[in-house]
Structure 1
Amino acid sequence: MRALVTGAAGFIGSTLVDRLLADGHAVVGLDNFASGRASNLEHLADNPAHVFVEADIVTADLEAILDEHRPEVVFHLAAQIDVRRSVADPQFDASVNVIGTVRLAEAARRAGCARSCTRPRAARSTASRRGTRRPRRCRPIRLRRMPPERWPARST
């Protein structure tokens, strides 16, 4: 299986990349190093099953990246996680966490990617209580339209 992992240079992302490679999968790691560290991926420099792409999910040509690497599954772990920045600049937070996620989901759908995960089970905080477990299979991408009556009310 070929997987794309966004947020690959973060703690959870790099751990997932290591696990996927150990299980014999090919991995394309994607990160912009906003909060991730290059040191989390340095040990993979000579691994032929790993390709790293430095890109931002908000501004990068995600369709071109997906077309080039053709992942079968996308693990989306990229996020703006700095609470202070979220409070100071909520629009930036929404840009990364909402717009970036939608752009990635749309690019994955257009590229014919079969599955997408935003939070593998192994990354949940409760996983440490149960010991090491393999992530559950991801659900297929399903884009549904939310009816207007379920839209959040606007405050002025």
Structure 2
Amino acid sequence: MLEIKRANQADAQAAFDIRLLAIRSQCIGAYTRDQMMLWTRGNAQDGYNALMDKPFYLGWVNDEPVVTGMLDLSNNEVGAIFVLPGYTGRRYGKAMLDHLEALARTLNIEQLVLDATLNAATFYRRYGYVGHDEAIYHSPSGLQLACIPMVKRLS
């Protein structure tokens, strides 16, 4: 059974590793190998650990972290939903999304936004997010990736 808990600094590398493995296994075909390698270079101490200070969550199964997710309150944005390979297809990504949306509702957030990776847009559409036009995501590291900006009204 999945247990979702708030992450802390000690969880940063595990969260980074889930992200790295998820991108490298689930984004094949949506992005080039070079893009994926650039996107996942480094380690948590290169800046990813700063996300642990936001409402960042890990989902655990049998004491193993298997899914991540974050709610960026400064932008009312859902982000960092990544599922560890080997745990996909078990609705853990959906459980994390539900958790973040429930948190947003308790904070009286009426609308959430996100930048979906090209391979994840269908997932988000299935759960009420709207958006079809491609845009370019500019990461803090300078990487530019195609994405699909999406929005969902919660009220």
What is the TM-score normalised by the length of structure 2? 0.38
More helix by share: 1
Bigger Cα Rg: 1
What is the TM-score normalised by the length of structure 1? 0.38
